[in-house]
Each structure stands twice: as structure tokens, then as C-alpha cells.
Structure 1
Amino acid sequence: MDILLTLFLGKPLWLWLTFLALVLVLLVLDLGVLNKGDQEIGVARSLKLSAFYITLGVAFAGFVWWQIGAEAAGLYLTAFVVEKSLAMDNVFVIAMIFGFFAIPRKYQHRALFWGILGVIVLRGLMIGFGAALVQNYHWVLYIFAGFLVFTGIKMLFSGDNHEVDIGANPALKFLRRHLRVTDELHGHAFTVRQPDPKTGRIRRFATPLLMALIMVEIADVIFAVDSVPAVFAITSDPYIVFTSNIFAILGLRALYFALAAILHRFAYLKYALAVLLIFIGSKVFVADLMGLEKFPASISLGVTFAILGAGVAVSLWKTRGQPVHETLPGEPGDEHPARP
């Protein structure tokens, strides 16, 4: 049993295995019990599932407190809230991807479920690489911090245009050149065997559902370029960075179906996120100027809640009276249908 006490990235191996086992149980419960088979997830069900994941993610802070300490728990909560908030734009892009490929709601959950498996691996690799950089080259933190400040300032002055041209994406053009893709869906299948129109031979084709899944994974990598440095600017502990990231993403999948329909109500949250990124990046420099080893976790968490709370309050006030959209972006009935 001594192997379980072996340190891996600064924490006992059993801590990592406990978290991964919890994630595995949640994934099995999600697909095998709560959402078995192809079905549409309504707003009410989405909110209930999301509340469950958020509660579990917050409760995990208690486990972190018990095993690592109060300061670590505060850092985890801050990272969890920041990661959850930064995922807002990710929801919009995922909705646009599904709309572009005309993926019905009853198949979207399946794509998001398998997508989370890829996200866990990709985020794990990125966080492991980032942790190695920070451990060996501490000055990398200042690069992360400067990047966050630059990104926040850019967000403040970039306007409100959320229009995303999925068809012009270079990754999608590359995939279409190198993969055989069917013109229509084949149920919830990601691939299908059928005759090649050119040769008549039976070949394996990718379906639009697989293309959507790949594009969702690519979108997550792009968003991780912002979110992973943001969490490292909060804490350089790989365990807290990884667990907060994954818990936020697990809940995001559940919240997607409700959040995509009311995302327009959070129109001003973008500016709060921009200010939050500037704060997270600048506190790395402020801590050095004040001679602090670390910026106090309690103050960081309080400021984070204050910024995001103000952004949510202003958004809900400014957009009061606006109806909830019945369709997601790109679905039939949406005023901005996806390109064919």
C-alpha cells in the first residue's frame, strides 16, 4: 500500500486516484443511469443536473480543506468559480457548432459526454506541462499573468460581436480535406460503413456528429489557452488546478442545455470576465510588489465573487423582460440559422 503514498506532482497518489474514481463514477452515472439512451434534455432537467454538479464541486472544497488545508480550499473555490465563469463563451461556441452541423438535441448530450473524456485527457496534459514549466521556470508565471492582463484588456474593447463563422475554421477545412464525411446523420453513430461514391468500395465515413465532436474538442483546447493560465495565476498546485478544471467542465455539460437558451441574459458578463482576468493577472505582480509570497486566498475569492456578482446583476437588470429562447443557436426557429 506504500505505493498509494507515493508523491505524484506534489500530492499522494491516492488523492489523484480518489478524484479520478469519483469522475469515473459520475460519468458512468451520467450516461448509464441518468441519461440512458438518446433523449432531449429540457431546461428544468438541465438545471437540476447542473445544481447537482455545482453542489458536488463546491462540496469537494471541503475534502480539499480536510486533506490539504483551509488556504488550499479557498484557492480551489476561486479556481472553480473562475473556470466556470470563463466557460460561458465556450457554451456559445458549442451551441454554434451543433447548429452548424444540424445536430438534434437528442444527440448533443452523447457528443458532449464523449467530449468530456477527451477534455479530461487534454486538460491533464496541458496542466501537467504547465506545472512542469512553473516548477522549473518560475518566471513563466509572469508570462501567464501578463497574458491574462492583455487578454482582459482586449476583451474590454473588443465589442459584443459573438458571431462565429464555423465554416471558415481552418481546422474544419483540414478535416474535410482528409476525411470522408457523410452528408447526413446516421442516428447517434460517429462513423458508418457505406459505399464510396467514387469507387463503389465499402469505406468507413465520419458522420456530422463526429465532426461536431472533434470541433468541440478543438474549441476546448482554444479556450484552455485562457483558462489554464488563469488558474495557474491563482495557484501553481497541479492538484487544485486539475480538480477545479474538471469539476467545472463536468457541470458545464449538464448546464449547457439551459445556459445556451438564456445566454443572451448575461450580455454584460463578458466585461466582468475581462476585469476578472485583469485582476487575476495583476495580483501576481501586486503580490511581488508588496513582498507577499502569495496573494491572500480569502481576498482573491472575495474579489472574484464581487466582480462576477456585479456582472451578473448588471446583465440581468439590463436584459430584464427579454424572453428565454425556445431554440439554441442554429436550430430551426433560431433567428440566426447555421450556414448549410
Structure 2
Amino acid sequence: MSNEILFLSGFLIFILALLLLDLGVFNKKDSAVSLKQAGLMSVFIILLSLGFYIVLTYFGHQIHGIDSIERLQEVVAKHKHPIKIIPDNLEHSIMLYNKNLGLEFLTGYLVEYALSIDNIFVILLVFSGFGVAPRNYHRVLFWGIFGAIVMRFLFIFIGAALIQKFEWIMYVFGAFLIYTGVKMFIDRNKEDEIDPQHHPVVKFAQKHFKVHNQFVGNKFFVVIDGIKKMTPLFLVLIIVEFTDLIFAVDSIPAIFSITKDPYIVFFSNIFAIIGLRSMFFLLAGIVNKFRFLKIGLAALLTFIGLKMIFHHYLDDNGFTTSHSLIVIVSILFLSIATSLMFPEKKPHNIES
């Protein structure tokens, strides 16, 4: 247990350092994030994520303090890793375990990243619906990370405890993801809208708190006539957090189909969340060009749901983490490639 606490503490300190770096690089001036800044930070986070994958591939066994065949067998059985332990060869067994752990992280990271892209659509609608100035986008997204980390931590470790105690929950998660995937496919062409005046968060805040009626620079709170009031920017932050909470309900069960190890689920989630905050500024202007992405995400959720329901059958027939990774990458590649090959045709105005 001490190894797990130490590893998790070190990871959280590392993430805090990344956020401070992000704050120092992006938030020095009260200005919009440039494409160059967003690109550099996105590449940096992706490289760090791949570096963490390499760390897990060689030192993943250190998370749970695996130093014997008995301990390895205990961890593999608890988290249901699809590997075969060689009883008289600890070194080789650990190598297989670490390799699979790295693949689980990479696959979970990719799934979370892909599903979070859909989140960008909603955040863009929120920003435009509330009239948030582009120079304040980063401030809202940056502080939104902290709430997201806390919520994901609670969701993941509570979810892992429930799965350990009630394995049938996997079937519930699977059915829910299939339902979500089918619904996403049916609603793929539906136009989403944000009504600032009638949004539940806005109505609740106006009823229970003092809310200022206009933006005041990049401030979340302002004092007027001796009364402290929320600004619309703080309401936007709450809505972004609420949106992330809704998306977590889909994405976290999806990653539990890849790995039952809550630490790997948490690590992959956090790297994807941080990466997508910087990726937001790159994708914001072009995300609508991926016309088949919704179909790809719907297929992805459906596949993961089916995998959760039939996991015993798939495990017995040798369906490994590598196979999951191949299927997921193929779905995403096809949806993006077809979007670029067959862009949506816009009607031309014909002048008579």
C-alpha cells in the first residue's frame, strides 16, 4: 500500500508542476492563447504521456510493490490483467506484466482523449452562448482542470471498489455505454444549443447567490457596493465543470473495459484531460470539419460496451489489450480519414 500511495503522491506532484508550468507559459498575459502556444503545449503533453507509457513499461510493477511471484499473482488476479504468469520466472513475468500495463495506459489514454473531443463541441457552445472573450478561454479551462481531477479521482476509485465487490456492475456499465453509443448515432445531426438565460446552473445560482449581470475582465468574483457577487465567467466555469462531470459518466466506465486497475485508469484520464485543455485551442476552429467523428465515437462506445458485457468470453478466447488498441485506433482513424476524404458539401448560392 505504501508503494501505491508514494506513486500516486508523486504523480499528483508531477501534475501540479505541469499545471504551474501551464499557468506560467499561457497565463502571463491577459490575452488569447495563440495556435503556436497551444501547439507547443499539446506536443509537450503528448510526449510526456508517451514518456509515462515508457516508465510503466519498465517500472509499472513498482506501483503495487511487486517483488515476488505471489504478489504478482495477487495483483494480476485482483485487476484481472490478461497475462500468463510463469511461476518459476519472476523477471520474465514482471516484464509481461509491465508491457501489458503500459498498453492498458496507452489504450485508456486514447479512449479518454477521443471521447473528450466531443466535449469540445459543448464547451465551444457554452463559450459562444455566454459571449466569453477568447482571452478568457484559458483561464476557465485551466481552473476547470482542478475540479476535474478531484471528480475523476472520486469517480475512479469508488468505481473500482464497486467493481471489485459487485462484478455485475460491469454489465450495467456495458449496457449503458451501448445505449449512449446508439443515442449518439441517432442524435449525430442534432443541433445543440445553449440558452444562457434558462440554463439550470444559471437559474440555480441566481436563486441562491448574488450574481453580477456582466463580465468584469477575467474576474470570477467582484465586489459592488460592498456586496461580493459571482460574475458570468464563474458561472461558465461551473457549467464547464458540470459538463466534464457528465462526460466522465461515459468515459470512466469505458476505460474500466480496458483495465480494472484504478491507478492506470486515473493516470490515463488525467493525462488526457490536461492534453485536451491545450488541444482545445487547436481543435476549436476545425472540430466541425470532422463530420463522421460522432459516428466514430458512437461506434467506439458501442464496441466498448459490448466488450464489457462479453468480457469473460473474449478473455477466454485470447482477446488482449493489444486487440482492443487495434480496434479503437482503427475506428478513430476511419472516422477522421473519411471526414477528410468526404467533407460536407455546402450549398452554393446560384445567382440568376
Normalising by structure 2, we get a TM-score of 0.83
Q: What amino acid does structure 2 have at the position aligned with 1:32? A: G
User: Which of residues 244, 262, 282 in structure 1 aligns to 2:268?
Assistant: 244
Q: Which amino acid aligns with 2:9?
A: L
Matched, 1:54 2:51: no
Measured after TM superposition, the shift of residue 284 of structure 1 is 2.6
In the alignment, which of 55, 58, 68 is matched to residue 66 of structure 1? Answer: 58
Q: Secondary structure at the match of 2:275?
A: helix
State the SS of the aligned residue for 1:87: helix
Task: Verify the 8 A CA contact 1:144 1:233 in the aligned structure 2.
Answer: no
**Which shows bigger deviation, 12-21 or 216-225?**
12-21
Matches within 5 A, 1:77-226: 77-167=106-196, 168-195=198-225, 202-226=226-250
Structure-2 residue corresponding to 1:302: 326
The alignment covers a number of residue pairs equal to: 308
Which residue does the alignment assign to 1:6?
A: 2
- Overall identity of the aligned pairs, in %: 40
| 1:26 aligned onto 2:45 | no
Secondary structure in 2 matching 1:235: coil
Report the residue type matching 1:178 in the other structure: H
AA aligned to 1:214 is: I
Mapped partners of 2:216, 2:232: distance in 1:
9
3-state secondary structure, aligned to 2:257: helix
Unaligned runs of at least 5 residues, structure 1: 196-201, 323-340
* Alignment-mate amino acid for residue 215 of structure 2: L
Distance in 2 (CA, whole Å) between partners of 1:186 and 1:107 is 11
- The answer for unaligned runs of 5 or more in structure 2 is 61-97, 347-352
Work out which of the two has the higher radius of gyration on C-alpha atoms and give 1 or 2.
Answer: 2
Distance 1:208 1:288, change over 3 A: same
Indicate whether 1:277 and 2:301 are aligned. yes
Compute the RMSD of aligned alpha carbons. Answer: 1.8
CA contact (8 A) 2:46 2:275 kept: yes
Query: Relative to 1, partners in 2 of residues 1:314 and 1:178: Cα closer, same or farther, differing over 3 Å?
Result: same
Deviation at 1:56, TM superposition (A): 1.3
Cα distance in structure 1, aligned partners of 2:144 and 2:286: 23
Shift of 1:320: 7.5
Residue type matched to 2:51 in 1? A
| 3-state SS, counterpart of residue 31 of structure 1 | helix
Tell me how far apart the structure 2 counterparts of residues 90 and 238 of structure 1 sit (CA, whole Å): 23
Matched with 1:333 is: none
Structure 1 residue 119: deviation in Å? 0.5
Specify whether residues 41 and 294 from structure 1 end up closer, same or farther in structure 2 by C-alpha distance, changes over 3 A only.
farther
The answer (yes or no) to whether the contact 1:38–1:110 under 8 Å persists in 2 is no
CA distance in 2, matches of 1:108, 1:88: 16
Aligned pairs for 1:318-337 within 5 A: 318-319=342-343
**Any idea what the Cα deviations from partners look like across 1:120-176, whole Å, max 9, x if unmatched?**
011111112111111111111111111111211222222312422343332332122
